[in-house]
Amino acid sequence: MLWQALTTVRDLGRLHGIASILIRYGFGDMVRRMGLADALERAGRALHWREAEELAHLDPPARVRRALEELGPTFVKLGQLLATRIDLFEPEWIAEFGKLQDSTPPAPWVDIRQQLCADLGAPPEEVFAAFDPEPLAAASVAQVHRARLEDGSEVVVKVRRPGIRPIIEADLRWLARLAQLAEGESSELRAFRPQDLVRQFTQSLRRELDFTGECRNAERIAENFANYTDKDEPTGTGAVQAAAEPPAALPIVVIPRVYWQWTGERVCVQEFITGISARKLAAVDQAGLDRKVLARRGARAVLKMIVEDGFFHADPHPGNVFYLPGNRIALIDFGMVGRLTEERRDQLTGLLLGLVEQEPRRVADVMLDWTGDGTLDEDGLLLEIQTFVQQYHGVALKQLRLGAMLSELVAILRQHQLALPPDMSLLVKAFISLEGMGRELDPDFDMAGEAKPLLEQALRARYTPTALFQRGWRGVSESLSLVAALPQDISRLLRAARRGRLEIHIDVTHLKRVGNQLDNAASRLTVGIVIAALIIGSSIAMTVSGGPTWLGLPFFGLLGFVGAVIGSLWLLLSIWRSRGKE
């Protein structure tokens, strides 16, 4: 309790800002129900409840998006994460969250230079042959500068904004508290799983603050593409095929090199990529690149990361993709990556093959595995999934839109108030973005046709003798380890029982809230008994002669009545406030 009180005092200014913005955008009732208004009023900070009227005409998604923008960089990034949760939010919410742009004015060069001197061990003018103090881009967490090494290599220097970590940590503390209150107090918000979302967001943002993690991600993906070739893929003929094939020495998928001697938690130095941004399709045509080849190669590269490697670039939007001569592709910014276990990859393979080959039972089994053990109408969900898949029966493979099909499947889960695991929601969003980019390059892009051979290959690899032996041996090893540890576990259990330390933990949903309500009721009952005792005692004192008096009345009897009145007012006010929060 003491630590929570100290934390509240430390972040009181930020709390006032959060509450004021929420009120202005029409979420005053949420502020009241979460107790934020009471905390600020006790601290003597005024809240302007009437300010919400000017924004009342906006629909809820727009109001939430604008509130997130005004709340600052942490909340903008939270909105960008929410844009990936198509399993929780309707399309109009996803569209609004997608409008959030992580761009802010650059930090002063004096502050950036001072931090660079501390991180590099010397001024940037001495470390690099040339350094441009004007940033190429600036975001809420970092900004990027261009520089040149002594050997002439062009690099980008990514610098974390000075003083950004304490601000983000304060926001994360309040987000965790808000999520806890929202899930406990509001049945409407509980369906969005706010605590799970904030937990996922906190882990993601803290990883993003450490640039060494981003660089390790880049190197791991580069290693996975080290021997990647395009020779087995179908290509065009004649001049198109000649243009499609880069020289043998050049990689098809380019990942920027990391210069570790100058890379740390707050700064990273990577190879500068000279290419055409995926946003500039007209420049792609002017450079003579083949859009069809680029679309196919990009799709197969991302599918390889997802299906084969289980480690993929989770944000493949046009700003993170560049096209190079020879129809090569470069990927940058590996702050957000997805990780898939072997089990998840098997499930994904089964799901996509079920969609491509119109096998509803296979699709339904995977979706039921993803949704976990929550309460659901399994027969109804299965029927909807079967109806959905069967509507594509007889449709040509090239006419299937896997991204749209995944979106519709997720909508079915959302109607049943089910959510995907966080890793799968990130993958689905990345998959939809990938297909959208492919169709921008090539309107006839066949995502299903590109995915099917790779999925079938992954499925065959799962049942090779070597793979079967490895899974079988792993299962036997785990079983033997469990049997070997069983006597020791039983011994510990019996020892704890003999000492009276055997504990059984039962987690009942919302039991804490019920306990708090019982505690409040008991406290009010106690106060009521004390008030009754004061009234009776004071009445008796009034009849006793002698002793001090005030205004001609026995002082102690009068004092008891005053205490009873004060206690009654407090009790009535407490009951009124609790009803206002319901």
pLDDT digits 0-9 by tens, 173-204: 878 877 877 777 666 666 667 888 788 888 88
How many angstroms separate the CA atoms of 162 and 141, rounded? 9
Instruction: Quickly count: other Cβ atoms within 10 Å of residue 250's Cβ.
Output: 12
Among 452, 182, 138, smallest CA distance to 299 is for 452
- Three-class SS of 501-537: CCCCCCCCCCHHHHHHHHHHHHHHHHHHHHHHHHHHH
How many angstroms separate the CA atoms of 288 and 325, rounded? 9
pLDDT at 3: 35
What are the E-state strand segments in 239-324?
253-254, 267-271, 276-277, 311-313, 321-324
pLDDT at 11: 56
DSSP H or E run through 297 = helix 291-303
Residue 41, exposed/middle/buried by CB under 10 A (0-12, 13-18, 19+)? exposed
How many angstroms separate the CA atoms of 400 and 293, rounded? 20
Strand partners, 145: 157
pLDDT tens, position by position, 274-324: 999 988 889 999 999 999 999 889 888 888 888 888 898 887 778 889 999
Instruction: Quickly count: other Cβ atoms within 10 Å of residue 27's Cβ.
Output: 19
Burial 293-303 (b: 16+ CB within 10 A, else e): bbbbbbbbbbb
User: Cβ distance 79 to 97 under 8 Å?
Assistant: yes
How many angstroms separate the CA atoms of 501 and 543, rounded? 57
How many angstroms separate the CA atoms of 262 and 273, rounded? 18
Catalytic residue IDs: 315
How many angstroms separate the CA atoms of 81 and 199, rounded? 12
User: Cβ distance 297 to 230 under 8 Å?
Assistant: yes
How many angstroms separate the CA atoms of 178 and 199, rounded? 12
Residue 456 one-letter amino acid: E
User: Cβ distance 194 to 38 under 8 Å?
Assistant: no
Torsions phi, psi of 317, nearest 5? -80, 165
How is 43-99 classified by DSSP, letter by letter?
TT----GGGGGGGTTS-HHHHHHHHHHHH-HHHHHHHHHHTT-TTTS-HHHHHHHTT
Residues in the chain: 582
**Who's near 131: CB < 8 A, 6+ residues apart?**
124, 125, 145, 147, 148, 157
How many angstroms separate the CA atoms of 414 and 87, rounded? 6
Torsions phi, psi of 464, nearest 5? -70, 155
How is 166-198 classified by DSSP, letter by letter?
HHHHHHHHHHHHHHHHHHHH-HHHHTT-HHHHH
How many angstroms separate the CA atoms of 385 and 44, rounded? 55
**Who's near 292: CB < 8 A, 6+ residues apart?**
236, 441, 442, 444, 445
In the chain, what are the helix, strand and coil shares in percent, each to the nearest 5?
A: 65, 10, 30
Low-confidence residues in the chain, pLDDT < 50: 1-9, 42-44, 232-244
Instruction: Quickly count: other Cβ atoms within 10 Å of residue 115's Cβ.
Output: 18
What's the token pair of residue 332? Answer: 């940058």
pLDDT at 222: 93
pLDDT at 324: 93
Cα 462–Cα 466–Cα 468 angle in degrees, nearest 5 = 55
pLDDT at 374: 54
pLDDT at 216: 93
How many angstroms separate the CA atoms of 376 and 418, rounded? 8
pLDDT at 1: 35
Strand partners, 323: 276, 329
User: Cβ distance 123 to 104 under 8 Å?
Assistant: no
pTM of the model: 0.69
> What letter does residue 256 receive in the DSSP assignment?
P
pLDDT at 563: 80
Torsions phi, psi of 186, nearest 5? -125, 115
Residue 190 one-letter amino acid: R
How many angstroms separate the CA atoms of 579 and 497, rounded? 45
